[in-house]
């Protein structure tokens, strides 16, 4: 999720003010980054939740995937400020993008020489659906945090 429109310009202005504030600005920047990360945490928890995953794939696989799925938020405060949500498998080579597309690839009865793509019982969007749903709320939280930080810097 990127900050677009007036929010992007507001963030650029804020970044310049934080830089001007020097050492004092680093505390404001740290606080802003924490608030941005906090805004994304409910989404991170939702995506990794086994109950959420069961709505998108077979229950047994949802439990296995939940135990292996590493979901996190990355805050980027640069020329293109954004919060990125990423999901990857910790131990196995699970094809997360393919799962999000509604395709579960697995070996035939454990035979790793023969693989099959399963679409029955697999619904697309386990990752992308909650991201699309949460984007407006996260954007609102980020813009509010930016406004609050700007007020603290300017003393207004």
pTM: 0.81
Mean pLDDT by groups of 10 residues along the chain of 156 residues: 61 75 71 89 96 95 94 80 87 90 89 89 96 92 86 77
Nearest in space to 121 (alpha carbons), one of 45, 60, 46, 47? 60
Q: What are the extents of the domains in the chain?
A: 6-91+124-154
In this prediction, residue 81 carries a pLDDT of 66
In this prediction, residue 131 carries a pLDDT of 95
Contact 136, 5 (CB under 8 A): no
Contact 1, 82 (CB under 8 A): yes
Nearest in space to 83 (alpha carbons), one of 127, 40, 44? 40
In this prediction, residue 1 carries a pLDDT of 52
């Amino acid at each position: 999720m990127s900050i677009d429109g007036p929010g992007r310009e507001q963030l650029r202005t804020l970044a310049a003010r934080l830089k001007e504030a020097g050492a004092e600005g680093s505390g404001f920047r740290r606080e802003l980054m924490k608030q941005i990360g906090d805004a994304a945490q409910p989404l991170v928890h939702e995506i990794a939740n086994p109950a959420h995953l069961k709505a998108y794939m077979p229950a047994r696989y949802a439990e296995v995937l939940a135990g292996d799925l590493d979901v996190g938020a990355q805050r980027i405060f640069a020329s293109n400020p954004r919060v990125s949500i990423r999901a990857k498998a910790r131990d196995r080579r699970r094809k997360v993008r393919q799962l999000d597309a509604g395709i579960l690839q697995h070996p035939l009865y454990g035979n790793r020489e023969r693989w099959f793509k399963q679409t029955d019982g697999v619904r697309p969007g386990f990752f992308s659906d909650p991201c699309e749903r949460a984007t407006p709320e996260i954007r609102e939280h980020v813009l509010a945090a930016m406004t609050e930080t700007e007020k603290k810097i300017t003393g207004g």
